[in-house]
Amino acid sequence: MAGKRLRPGVLLATALVLAPIVACSDDDPQRGEGRLEVDGAAVLERQEGDREVVSGQADVGVGDEITLREGSGTLTLPGGVTLELRQGLPGGVEDTRLLMGDTPELLAGDLLVVAPDGTAVTVGSSGVQVAGGAAQVSKPAGVEVSVAAYDTGVHIESGGQEREVIALREMQVPALGLPPDAPRPLQYEASDPWDRRFLGEAIDLGTRLEALAAGYTDNLARGQGRTVEFFRGVLPGLADEPDFTASLLDPDRPPGETLIGAAIADLGRRGSFLERWELVFRFRGEHAAWGLVARDQGVDSLPLTTAVTEAVNDSPLAIGPTRPTSGSTTPTTAPQRPPTATPPADPEPTTPTTRPPPTAPPPPDEDDGLLGPLVAPLEPVIEPIAEALGGLLSGLLGGLTGR
């Protein structure tokens, strides 16, 4: 029964079957019971062998199997726990199939677990315990279990091996008893409605910061952005930080990356400055998006974008021709900032720099000019950047492309 799929004609025929209804005790579901609400269509196979198509509400009990064929559905369990199911996604993700029991079992597809006080599900032969919060639990084809923790911790037990996945991380166990040693940063999809529900602000912030970091590196005046004195000059919060020393600066790290990470470490309040610096750049070094790095440190979007914007304004930027904007006929050249208003120049870097592979923002629209990805997402906070850069970045940022 676990591997069956129904043809559309069979779905219509089975909709006519009047299956017995499992009534939830009293007003709320009891252990082993659940109340299903479907926006679309789900196939419900009863333990007794009857089958029905649900397009509204139904009560389910132990031994009932739910397959979400179209749209989405929510199964409410005791204690306010909800399990959300959805139809398969492009790329081979199957429809969600769930077997109801005292501990629900995910047979295939994706499951969004939201548990105020924690709950457990079984996936394959592995156990998953979600603490108070939200996590996505999946059973991809050929994989034992995959979890992505949005705002809570997840405990995995697989073949006697136990692992902890903290918030904003994910882990995929390829086979029973073979979990990785450690989780990795959560890899989100900006178009995924579950990801956007729990990470939307971090996703948008990450897009802005990725563009700012790349643009800053590409347009910083030659030889700048490599010393403690430079960053103390553009990030005032570092001016009186005794633990901010040259030993923290990686010569291979692009200045834009250092700027964003230093701003997050400065604004964070979890642990000492040195601990924050280590955690910020370790998480980033594992290819976490900047928005997740900021959230991991409890740093809000507005103060962070404000600090970075002011740092860009106070930095010496290179000069170059710009592409004509819409409606103009000749290129312009950005005015040079007075050299006396900038921090002292750094020595020439002796080691070539490389940029890590974080998500790049989408390329700008042809009609918007090349400052679009740096300026538009941050209005009105980022407007001072446009005044500082003028038409400077348009030609140089043409290389920014989406991942």
Residue 10 to residue 358: CA distance in whole angstroms? 46
Average of pLDDT values for 77-89?
A: 95
Give the sign of the dihedral formed by CA 248, CA 253, CA 259, CA 265.
negative
pTM of the model: 0.74
Shared domain for 171 and 225, answered yes or no, is: no
Tell me, what's the pLDDT at 27? Answer: 63
Q: Do 78 and 124 have their domain in common? A: yes
| Apex 291 CA angle, 370 and 233, nearest 5 | 70
**Could you say which of 158, 185, 212 is where a domain stops?**
185
Residue 1 lies in a domain: no
Look at residue 13 and give its three-state secondary structure.
helix
Confidence tier at 364 by pLDDT (50, 70, 90): very low
Structural domain range at position 125: 8-18+29-185
148 lies in the same domain as 206: no
- By three-state DSSP, how is residue 159 classified? coil
C-alpha span between 354 and 344 (Å, rounded):
24
Alpha helices (runs of H) in 220-289, residue ranges in sequence order: 228-234, 255-267, 273-285
In terms of domains, do 170 and 200 share one?
no
Instruction: Tell whether 24 is covered by a domain.
Output: no
Q: Does 322 lie in the same domain as 215?
A: yes
Residue 250 lies in a domain: yes
DSSP strand pairing (169-173 vs 161-165): unpaired
Read off the CATH number of the domain in which 51 is found: 2.60.120.1440
- The pLDDT tens digits of the residues spanning 115-137 come to 999 999 999 999 999 999 999 99
b/e 152-163 (16+ beta carbons within 10 angstroms → b)? bbbbbbbeeeeb
pLDDT tens-place string over residues 211-261: 999 999 999 988 899 999 999 999 999 999 999 999 999 999 999 999 999
How many domains is the chain partitioned into structurally? Answer: 2
Query: Same structural domain for residues 226 and 167?
Result: no
| Residue with the two structure tokens 């559905």 | 73
In a shared domain, residues 162 and 231: no
CB–CB of 228/245 below 8 Å?
yes
pLDDT confidence bin for 351, thresholds 50/70/90: very low
Q: What are phi and psi of 398, to 5 degrees?
A: -60, -20
- Kindly state whether residues 177 and 54 are assigned to the same domain: yes
Kindly state whether residues 277 and 373 are assigned to the same domain. Answer: yes
Q: What type of residue sits at position 165?
A: V
Q: Are 143 and 172 in contact (CB under 8 A)?
A: yes
- What's the pLDDT score for residue 369? 35
CA 318 to chain centre: 33
Q: Are residues 149 and 69 in the same domain?
A: yes
In a domain, 2, yes or no: no
- Among residues 389, 394, 392, which one has the least CA distance to residue 372? 394
Which of 370 and 157 is assigned the larger pLDDT? 157
Residues 34 and 138 in one domain: yes
Average of pLDDT values for 264-275?
A: 96
Q: What is the pLDDT of residues 26-80, one digit of tens each?
A: 567 788 899 999 999 999 999 989 999 999 999 999 999 999 999 999 999 999 9
Q: In angstroms, rounded to a whole number, what is the distance separating the alpha carbons of residues 259 and 274?
A: 16
One domain, residues 38 and 78:
yes
CA gap 86, 96 in Å, rounded: 6
DSSP strand pairing (105-115 vs 119-123): parallel
Q: Are 109 and 92 in contact (CB under 8 A)?
A: no
* Number of other residues whose CB lies within 10 A of the CB of residue 321: 14
- 210 neighbors 293 (Cβ within 8 angstroms): no
Identify whether 193 is preceded by a cis peptide bond (ω within 30 of 0): no
| Rounded-to-integer distance, Cα 79 and Cα 104, Å | 14
Interatomic CA distance for residues 37 and 55, integer angstroms: 8
377: tokens are 């997402």
